[in-house]
Structure 1
Amino acid sequence: MKKEMRYLVPNDYMADPSVHVFNGRVYIYPSHDWESGVPENDNGDHFNMRDYHVFSTDDVMHGEVVDHGVVLRVEDVPWAGRQLWDCDIAEKEGRYYLYFPMKDRNDIFRLGVAVGEKPEGPFIPQPDPIKGSYSIDPAVFKDDDGSIYIYFGGIWGGQLQRYRDNKAIEHPCLPDNDEPALPSRVVKLRDDMLEFAESPRAVLITDVDGNPLKASDPHRFFEASWMHKYNGKYYLSYSTGDTHLLCYAIGDNPYGPFVYQGVILTPVVGWTTHHSIIQYKGKWYLFHHDCVPSGGKTWLRSLKVVELEYDEDGKIQTIDGGGE
């Protein structure tokens, strides 16, 4: 389905939007693409992401988008190595907790947290990464009972293939095509929001018969988890990476299992995409990115938004991403 789409920050390259509603206003937390001069590779070395901005608006499709400026930089983080990839945020008791992935000085991705007093920051990072954290793409979900969870993980440059059962393995590898796909992770946060309250769990995505999606399945997880609720059900959405889709699966609780449902967004211009889904003023929106303004360079991406719709059965209507 072709729908009206809007570029939100036309004068800069922003990607991987995490979006939330705070105090009646929409806040957007993207990563920031800079031209690095490094050739593209599977490790993501061409992504020169050295800071975060925060944006906000009170009219998603047509209103002014305010840039609140730089709220965190690589050099602000005591344990920093490089690359501030996608981030996400949660509010608790009037404070705001920004969760971010970054490579440490050994070039290993960890998850960090920075704390602010306002949704637009600034944010003060903790002195160390979260204990037991690894990989990328933190997506924070607050359930109706107040429990807060982080979904995370990404393959290839996101380093998820380096871990099994939350432990680093000597020889990183991906499953064979006929084996279950490598899963993302979910973990509940501690009450202070600064550490995990438990060991991360695998997020199982199955077909309608309860069989785990296989590594060869074009709809299997690759990166970019997001969680939202609709009519009491838990909707896990994610990027399939090299098959260039945004897909979703539905479960009955935050841990899953989740049953695969379909495609949210067909391929965009510029390889894979990354997204978030929110409800605002009675409508649902899908935030994502593509590379049309930069001429198709996968490391120079631009934020987009489009209205999202459900049918009477709670199925998300597929949106045409405009790519191949």
Structure 2
Amino acid sequence: MRTSNLKTKFSLLLGAVLCFALAYSENPIIQTSYTADPAPMEHNGTVYLYTSHDEDVTVNNFFSMNDWKCYSSTDMVNWTDRGSVLSYKTFEWSRGDAWAGQCIFRNGKFYYYLPVNMKNGGNAIGVAVSDSPTGPFKDALGKPLFTGYGYIDPTVYIDTDGQAYLYWGNPNLWHVKLNEDMISYDQTLGIVKEDLKDENFGYRAKKIDNRTASYEEGPWFFKRNAKYYMLYPAGGVPEHLAYSTSNGPTDPWVYGDTIMHVIKNHGAFTNHPGYVEFKGKSYLFYHDAGLPGGGGFKRSVCIEPFNFNADGSIPLITPTSKGVVESAANVDPYKRTEAETIAFSEGLKTAQDEQTGVYVTEISNGDYIKVRSVDFGKGAKNFQASVGSATSKGSIEIRVDDKYGKLLGILPVKATGGDKVWKTQSCKINSVKGIHDIYLVFKGGDGNLFNFDWWKLTK
């Protein structure tokens, strides 16, 4: 009897620990795909996060990367999957390797600088352009912007005087002044190679290219309060994150310090910084190998909020599982919310087609979607969802604050005539007031249950 009670207590304690972990784990921020090389861009009150994409199946145990994805957020905790916005095939002269890039807005268009390998061999940086931050993007030049060994990982910034700069490179660092058209550069200045000295970019014990400077690759260039910053992976493999500063966009750099140590446990042998200021707060983006099955070639993007020191220096930032604790805004559930708007999820995937756009798929029994900071107001009476299903074996539990939290209602998903035949179905729910996290928990038999496009509450 005593042993039984101990087992019961242990089970309850374990359940509570698991619930706590589910409630407060927010990193990695994308769980439906392996993502890497984060490149955030704020535009008109929305953060657009561009990422490279590690495929689920690697080829020859190496980076298997064919396209670039985009996610968006207005609150820094819920991220909407905008799908694949272009692939290396957008550049007809490319043969693959869709690695780290960055997108920027100017003169009504979005310019995306991307490294690929050319069909005839060698590294190159291309530029794609779109009228929308979520694409479609097209090749702006029909040829590379630059070609050269180590020409990867471009970072772009437009200074307050209107002059644009592009930095890039591994294991060296180059820059150019971009012309106002953003698809050509100042030929008089040409391509400038940085003098990588220890005092500029830190020290490493192992020489590379007959130097000891710690800079490795993946630069991220920005300006804050008249000071220019360069964040970068450093020290060789495995990489940590470091930074340098300067008084001008092309002035000599001065080494700052390490800002993130080599990530252990969930680490990958690479890293890549990204930075954005949103609604007055600073956020560091990076990648690790925190998803199930993750590793050096299957990475995942994470975020940590941080504060600059009073002198403008960057503190040492610790990678965490909780990530961003405070939402920058609340979700209005009485407007259509895309099913692929997710703070955290388990088990499922996303897909896209021309007719529907992005939707949630590969939903199995026990999978769930968490959406944070949902403002129920004075309470809702109904839950609506657009679903596509070949069977009637699945359902959606609507819960608050936890995967096992208060049950508001259950939507039995009825067959619609196929998993791409979309119909809106609804159910009554118990009223709850105020701001809560909402959990959509999927139940049913074996295999894929249904596809899920959007949801909303009604009063």
What TM-score range do you get, normalising by the shorter chain?
Answer: 0.7 to 0.9
Give the conservation status (yes or no) of the 8 Å contact 2:221–2:229.
Answer: yes
1:37 deviation in Å?
A: 3.7
8 Å CA contact retained: 1:205, 1:258: no
Which residue number corresponds to residue 170 of structure 2? 154
Q: How many corresponding residue pairs?
A: 286
**Matches of 2:201 and 2:72, distance apart in 1:** 41
Change in 2 beyond 3 A, CA 1:97/1:19 = same
In the alignment, the residues of structure 2 paired with residue 312 and residue 4 of structure 1 have an alpha-carbon distance, to the nearest angstrom, of 30
What is the CA-CA distance between 1:319 and the residue it aligns to?
A: 1.3
* Aligned residue among 101, 119, 129 for 1:87: 101
**Structure 1 residue 32 and structure 2 residue 53: aligned?**
yes
Identify the residue that residue 250 of structure 1 maps to in structure 2: 245
Q: Which structure 2 residues correspond to residues 1-324 of structure 1 after superposition, within 5 A?
A: 6-40=27-61, 46-60=62-76, 62=77, 64-125=78-139, 126-132=141-147, 135-155=151-171, 183-198=172-187, 199-206=190-197, 216=206, 220-240=214-234, 241-268=236-263, 269-321=267-319
Deviations along 1:174-196, one digit per CA (max 9) or x if unpaired, are xxxxxxxxx31111112211122
- C-alpha distance 283-205 of structure 1, shift in aligned 2 (>3 A): farther
Shift in Å at residue 214 of structure 1? 6.7
Separation in structure 2 between the aligned mates of residue 233 and residue 92 of structure 1, nearest angstrom: 22
Distance 1:211 1:229, change over 3 A: closer
Aligned-pair CA distance for 1:231:
2.0
CA contact (8 A) 1:205 1:212 kept: no
* 1:165 alignment partner in structure 2: none
**Aligned residue in 1 for 2:408:** none
Change (3 A) 1:36 1:108: farther
Larger radius of gyration: 2
CA distance in 2, matches of 1:114, 1:66: 22
1:79-108 CA distance string (max 9 Å, x none): 111111111112111111111010001231
Give the deviation of 1:121 after TM superposition.
1.2
Q: Which residue is equivalent to 1:167?
A: none
The 1-side partners of 2:191 and 2:138 are apart by 25
Structure 1 gap segments, 5+ residues each: 41-45, 156-182
Q: Which amino acid aligns with 1:94?
A: G
Richer in strand (by share): 2
Q: Is the 8 A contact 1:249 1:258 kept in 2?
A: yes
Q: Distance in 1 between matches of 2:26 and 2:258?
A: 18
**SS of the counterpart of 2:180?**
coil
3-state SS of paired residue (2:237) = helix
Q: 1:252 to 1:4 in 2, by over 3 A?
A: farther
Shift of 1:311: 1.4
How far apart, CA to CA, are the structure 2 residues paired with 1:117 and 1:221? 35
1:274-294: CA deviations, max 9, x gaps? Answer: 011111101000011100214
Shift of residue 70, structure 1, vs aligned partner: 1.5
TM-score by length of 2: 0.58
Distance 1:72 1:256, change over 3 A: same
- For residues 11 and 17 of structure 1, the distance between their equivalents in structure 2, rounded to whole angstroms, comes to 15
Per-residue deviation, residues 182-239 of structure 1 (Å, max 9, x unmatched): x31111112211122232212345555x798577478611001011222211011110
Letter in 2 for 1:232: A
Q: Which amino acid aligns with 1:26?
A: V
Tell me, yes or no, if the aligned pair for 1:95 and 1:115 is still in contact at 8 Å.
yes
1:139–1:151 CA contact under 8 A, matched in 2: yes
Contact preservation (8 Å) 1:219, 1:245: no
Unaligned runs of 5+ in 2: 1-23, 322-459
CA distance change for structure 1 residues 107 and 189 in 2, over 3 Å: closer, same or farther?
Answer: same
- Relative to structure 2, which stretch is displaced further, 81-90 or 215-224? 215-224
For 1:9 and 1:37, how far apart are their aligned partners in 2? Answer: 19
SS in structure 2 of the partner of residue 50 of structure 1? strand
Residue 295 of structure 1 deviates from its aligned partner by: 4.3
State how far apart, in whole Å, the 2-side matches of 1:29 and 1:319 are: 22
The structure-2 alpha-carbon separation of the partners of 1:296 and 1:11, relative to structure 1 and needing over 3 Å to count, comes to closer
TM-score (structure 1 length as normaliser): 0.82
Letter in structure 1 aligned against 2:218: A
What is the distance in 1 between the residues matched to 2:67 and 2:110? Answer: 18
3-state secondary structure, aligned to 2:50: strand
1:7: Cα distance to partner? 2.1
Provide the rounded CA distance (Å) in 1 between the counterparts of 2:32 and 2:201. Answer: 45
CA distance in 1, matches of 2:320, 2:262: 7
Q: Contact (CA 8 Å) 1:205, 1:249: kept in 2 or not?
A: no
Question: 1:32, 1:187 → 2: CA distance?
Answer: 27
Backbone CA RMSD of aligned residues: 2.4
